[in-house]
Amino acid sequence: GAVVSQHPSWVICKSGTSVKIECRSLDFQATTMFWYRQFPKQSLMLMATSNEGSKATYEQGVEKDKFLINHASLTLSTLTVTSAHPEDSSFYICSARDQGKGAEAFFGQGTRLTVV
Amino acid sequence: DAKTTQPPSMDCAEGRAANLPCNHSTISGNEYVYWYRQIHSQGPQYIIHGLKNNETNEMASLIITEDRKSSTLILPHATLRDTAVYYCIVRVGDTGFQKLVFGTGTRLLVSP
């Protein structure tokens, strides 16, 4: 199946710094990618829809100035957590659909962010 | 998208069939049923989806009731590696780029 790769797999950063997470579709083009956040023992929460060449669409309650999304090409979307704080520590997951194939979405392996 | 209800947890013996139920009583005619699973600390993995007919692939079978208000995911011979959280999701269409909204899922524990 199609492969979605995230980088890094895990990251530890200091409070107040910014962290960038990359999501790549390795063998297909994705005009749309999705970013999720997952806290321990909870389900995935959709944060935003990333659209190639245009602004992301954020879910209610997600601060767009804090979670910057850039979808500069058909194979790459980035999520930047700005001025990170300990409460931003979470598991961040992206997904994409191969527009040339069927209905299933493919997910990256996730990025575990720890803010200290 | 219609709401789904799943039991929070289930147990299954290795080698036996695991039958995971999902209620989606408010499903509408153009909504599909999708199943994903998430193994600990990994991204979700697509399993199967269907509209009204039963579906089978190399991973599982999906049985949808005639009124489409509920469905069952069947793992015919569960292994220890099938231990995961299983999510049943209902959403419109099987093309395009509609978002997937995850519920709380069923935590399946497969034991030796």
Higher pLDDT, A97 or B88: B88
Residue of A38, A20, A27 lying closest to A4 (CA atoms): A27
Residue of B20, B11, B107, B29 lying closest to B71 (CA atoms): B20
Give CA–CA dist A95/A103, Å, rounded.
Answer: 13
Which of A25, A28, A34, A44 is the best residue to mutate to test the B interface, defined by the most B CB atoms within 10 Å of its own CB? A44
pLDDT score recorded for residue A28: 87
pLDDT score recorded for residue A47: 96
* CB spacing of B94 vs A107 below 8 angstroms: no
pLDDT band for B84, please (50, 70, 90 cuts): very high
Which of A42, A46, A62, A104 is the best residue to mutate to test the B interface, defined by the most B CB atoms within 10 Å of its own CB? A104
**Rounded mean pLDDT, B58-80:** 97
The reply to whether A112 touches chain B by the CB within 8 Å rule is yes
| From A31, A91, A105, residue closest to B100, measured CB to CB | A105
| From A1, A46, A106, residue closest to B99, measured CB to CB | A46
**Rounded mean pLDDT, A32-57:** 91
Give CA–CA dist B24/B34, Å, rounded.
Answer: 11
**Rounded mean pLDDT, A61-78:** 93
Residue A77 above 90 pLDDT?
yes
**Rounded mean pLDDT, A33-41:** 94
**Tokens 């957590």 belong to which residue?**
A81
Cβ contacts (< 8 Å) between A7 and chain B: which residues?
none
- Of the CA atoms within 13 Å of residue A15, those in its CB half-sphere come to 4
A76: left (phi over 0), alpha (psi -120 to 50) or beta: beta
Give CA–CA dist B29/A51, Å, rounded.
Answer: 28
Q: With contact defined as beta carbons under 8 Å apart, do A18 and A27 qualify?
A: no
Q: Cis omega (within 30 of 0) on the bond before A8?
A: yes
Residue B93 above 70 pLDDT?
no
